[in-house]
Amino acid sequence: MGVTVSGMGWVMLLVSLPLAFLMGAAAQKGSICAVTAARELLDCERPRHLMAIAACSAWVLAITAPLAWLVPRDTLAVGLPLVWTIPAGAALFGVGAVVNNGCAFSTITRCAAGDLSKLATALGLLGGLAAVLQVPGLATAASPRGELSPLAMPQPWSAILVLVLLGLGAVKIVALARARAWRDAWSRPRWSPFAATAVIGVAGGTLYALHGAWMYTSLLPRALGRSVSPESIPMWEIVALTLAVLAGAGLSARQAGRVRLRLDPGWTARSFAGGVLMGAGGALAAGGNDVLVLHVMPALALHGLVAFATMTLSMLAALWVMRRLTR
């Protein structure tokens, strides 16, 4: 069956692909990873990556909500009941990310930089999803009926929230500009995580308003009959946007001299095992950490906050156990 795209669809695509490309480049330069954020917490360091990830969700909310009000579409993530599959799946995903040594964000940026073991992660995601589908009744338990986001319709409190976040964002942008965070942005090999997540948040928020949940792990709950957003976008759009992210991450890595094709058998096996846990967990928890950060938490869905907190705690526990075992 061929893919047909309307005139408006082509316009959206022409706008969206550069934004996805920019997201990939920023993610590569900022080395955004939830596992790194958990490692900072375990080492009692300043939680810069965790704070930057939280700021990214705030950016998405501030951009997505007013766009959703101006162009009403059912793109904002639904809020799911806190059934047991949410924390269980989040915990599985967190442990899997530690085994994989990379979350959903860093898996795609490392793959773009030539780490072919991360292709095994993708296969593992499919394996974990297949395992969930084989358990009788599990897919039904993981697909409860959701409710519309409290941000779906403008309210006085939500308008104030957006204005506050936009004000704080403007202050942060000025501070980053004064610190020359984006000076020689393309040629600079590394950005601060806050500079990276500001770009990811603004670009990702715009994509979210245009397409709904489009990050690649959103396909996991869709296979169980549960879409992250009420309005599901065609799979080919997810594939096209993901390829644009990969292109941005790959070109950014090449510019920084970090592209190196490598395939380590040990890491390939570990990536596959981690991918299986991430696939099963992402399906049960209605998405991986990319979906939680860029789609669910910005929609103020309570289950997203619970899932992200559980995921972070499981990463901390898995990192602690692995350190004890390797001493």
| 228-286 pLDDT per residue, tens | 888 778 888 889 999 999 999 999 988 877 788 888 888 999 999 999 999 999 999 98
Q: Is 291 exposed, middle or buried (0-12, 13-18, 19+ CB in 10 A)?
A: buried
pLDDT at 256: 78
Whether 48 shows a pLDDT value over 50: the answer reads yes
pLDDT of 327 strictly over 60 = yes
Provide the 10 A C-beta neighbour count for residue 182: 17
Q: φ, ψ for residue 136 (rounded to 5)? A: -60, 130
20/31 Cα distance (integer angstroms): 16
Q: Which of 294, 220, 308, 313 minimizes the C-alpha distance to 26?
A: 294
Residue corresponding to tokens 């704080």: 168
Predicted confidence at residue 5, as pLDDT, reads 53
Q: Does residue 3 carry a pLDDT above 60?
A: no
pLDDT at 125: 96
Q: With bands split at pLDDT 50, 70 and 90, how would you rate the model's confidence at 138?
A: confident
pLDDT band of residue 87 (cuts 50, 70, 90) is very high
Dihedral sign computed on CA atoms, order 26, 310, 220, 297: negative
- Could you say which DSSP state residue 151 is in? T
DSSP 218: G
pLDDT band at 55 (very low <50, low <70, confident <90, very high): very high
* Secondary structure (H, E, C), 272-323: HHHHHHHHHHHHHCCCCHHHHHHHHHHHCCHHHHHHHHHHHHHHHHHHHHHH
Residue 115: what pLDDT?
A: 92
Return the sign of the alpha-carbon dihedral for residues 2, 8, 12, 14.
positive
